[in-house]
Amino acid sequence: MIRLWLPMAVLLSWAGLAVLGPWLPLVPDHVELSRVLAGPGHGAWMGFDDLGRPLWDRMVVGARYSFLVAILVVSLSVTVGTFVGALSGYVGGWTDHVVVRVIDIFLAFPGILLAIALAGLMGAGLENVVIALSIVGWVGFARLARAQVLSLKTRDHVQAAIGLGASRLRIVGRHLIPLILAPLIIEATFAVAGVVIAEAGLSFLGLGIQPPTPSWGSMIRDGTRYMLVSSHMVLVPGVALMLVVLAVNMLGDRLRDRMDVRAGRRNGS
C-alpha cells in the first residue's frame, strides 16, 4: 500500500507552488524564438512551447490558478450546499420538497455539461469559471447534508434543544452540522479533484482562463497540435494534472477508511 505521505507530498508541492508562485522569478510570457518547441534541456528542464515560452514557468502559474479555483469553488459549494441541505432536512414540509426538486433538476444534467453551458452564457474568465462550477457543485453537498440531518434530527440532544426553545438555525448550526462534518470533509476532498479536472476542461475548450494567462487545460490544448514533434507540451501539464487528481483521490480514500474505522469502533463500543 502506498503510504499517505506520497499524496500529501504531491498536494503540498501543488499548494506550495500556488502560494509561492508570485514571489518566484518566473517569466511565463517571455518568448525566445530560438527555442520554439525545444525539448527539456539546459535552461528549461521542462522545455519550451510553440512560442518559445518556458513550460516550467507556465506550469507553476497554471498551478496557482488551478489551486485558487479549487479552493474557491469547494469552499462556496460546501458552505451553500451544507446550509441549504441541512436546513431543508431539518425543516421538512414544502421547503424540503422544493429543495429536493431543485436538486433533482440539477442532477438531471451532467455536471460538466451544465458548467460548460453556464460558462458559455456568462463568458470566459476566472470569476465566471468559479461561479459556474459553484452553481454545479453545491448540489452534492446539499444532498449529503440533507440525508445526514434526516437521520440525526430525532436524536435526544436535538429534542432537548427544541424543548429548551432553541431556534431552528441554532439547532442546525450548533447541534446538527458539527455531527455531519466528517462525511462532508470526505466529499470535499473528492470535489477538489472534480473541480481541478472541470477547470482544466473548461480552459481546454476556451471557456476558462484566457490567454496569455496559462492554465493546465489551455496548455494541453495548445500542445495537441504538436503531439508528434513536441510531446512534452502535453506531457508536462498532463502529468501534473494527473498527479494532483490522483493524490487528492488517494487522500480522500484514506480519510474515508480512517473515519469508517473510527465509526465502527464507536458503534462497537
On whether residue 88 sits in a domain, the answer given is yes
Higher pLDDT pick, 154 / 218:
218
On whether residue 133 sits in a domain, the answer given is yes
Residues of the chain by 3-state class (helix, strand, coil), percent to 5: 75, 0, 20
Residue numbers of the domain that contains 188: 50-268
On whether residue 69 sits in a domain, the answer given is yes
pLDDT at residue 269 in the model? 44
On whether residue 216 sits in a domain, the answer given is yes
**pTM, two decimal places:** 0.88
Arithmetic mean of pLDDT, 35-53: 84
End-to-end CA distance of the chain: give it in Å, rounded.
29
Arithmetic mean of pLDDT, 201-212: 89
* Residue 65: Cβ within 10 Å count: 22
Supply the angle between the helices 126-152 and 93-107 in degrees, to the nearest 10: 130
Rounded to the nearest integer, the mean pLDDT of the chain is 87
Residues 227-262 have pLDDT tens digits of: 888 889 999 999 999 999 999 998 888 888 877 655
Higher pLDDT pick, 258 / 17:
17
On whether residue 5 sits in a domain, the answer given is no
On whether residue 141 sits in a domain, the answer given is yes
Cα angle at 105 between 103 and 110, to 5 degrees? 100
> Residue 61: pLDDT above 60?
yes
What CATH number does the domain containing 127 carry?
Answer: 1.10.3720.10
Higher pLDDT pick, 23 / 159:
23
Cα angle at 158 between 265 and 172, to 5 degrees? 95
On whether residue 230 sits in a domain, the answer given is yes
33: CB partners within 8 A, 6+ apart: 52
**Number of domains, the chain:** 1
pLDDT at residue 2 in the model? 52
